[in-house]
Chains A and B, each alone.
Chain A
């Protein structure tokens, strides 16, 4: 090692314990049964996925449970081409915001099952579930989203979510 130290590594590490609130717990357990649970705002009627107890826009408690579809639209995406420390998937791969049918917020997930170059805004996708018994209590219960082959959604139909 050189005697001149012109660069140092400064690790930042945080170990923490996350406790899911009852609604999030139900959402996570729902995933194990291939159900995607949301919650409706009692005022603006927007559907939050994962289910949350309050509407951040209206500052009121959300009302009833609602199950959203396993299909949706890629509203925006990026293709990861660069390897980095801690990477779990071999690049290139595509990450996308998926607006599930019936939901008003997007979830962040992988899009696979096609060439990364084919992933595009407006693409219709469907959840590909991990086999029963291999579903962790996380969004990884959905392996990825894959193209449905349906015609693309019109930009006007999802632009407000971008």
Chain B
């Protein structure tokens, strides 16, 4: 749909695809775990636990298959503030994008942290998972992270 305003023409466009993705055995375990409110990583041959789990060790390329359940709390290893959430962002109020290293994991998971403002976020802070009411097997089954103790 285009609208004329003087000589300048503008039109709104939407580009959208709904990709269906087959998960393979490792990510099937991960997403099925989320549906059961459990978080799984994978153990690499070098004894690292990676969450979310890759199918191969990023260092050596060796296939990984040993799934390991990790904790539902952890600490923030990095973050940035989202001032203007977009429609498809996980939260509609301003929030922090956070990298969370869950207890028992050696890598960090990217997710969102619900906090009132950026002055209440810091690297190293303890956070825990808040689940949605009805998990379906999606990364959004984790509604967000919240500060531990709140």
User: Are A19 and B2 touching (Cβ within 8 A)?
Assistant: no
Q: Quick check: is A59 within 8 A (CB to CB) of the other chain? A: no
| Cβ-Cβ contact count across A and B, 8 Å cutoff | 96
Contact of A9 among B19, B28, B36 (CB under 8 A): B19
Interface: A148 (CB within 8 A): no
Digitize A1-32: 1 where CB-to-B-CB distance is under 8 Å, 0 elsewhere: 10111111111111111111010110011000
Q: Is A137 an interface residue (CB 8 A)?
A: yes
Query: Is A5 a contact of B35 with CB atoms below 8 Å?
Result: yes
Interface centre among B14, B20, B23, B137 (most CB of A within 10 A): B137
Q: With the chains together, A4 CA to B21 CA distance in Å?
A: 14
Query: How many chain-B residues does the 8 Å CB contact rule pick out?
Result: 31
Q: Is the CB–CB distance between B17 and A11 below 8 Å?
A: yes
A-B contact pairs, 22 of them (CB 8 A): A1-B136, A5-B35, A6-B22, A7-B20, A7-B21, A7-B23, A8-B23, A10-B20, A11-B17, A11-B19, A12-B15, A13-B16, A15-B87, A17-B12, A17-B13, A20-B2, A20-B10, A28-B2, A29-B9, A85-B18, A86-B16, A137-B9
Taking beta carbons and an 8 Å cutoff, which residues of B are in contact with A?
A: 1-2, 4, 7-23, 28, 31-32, 34-36, 87-88, 136-138
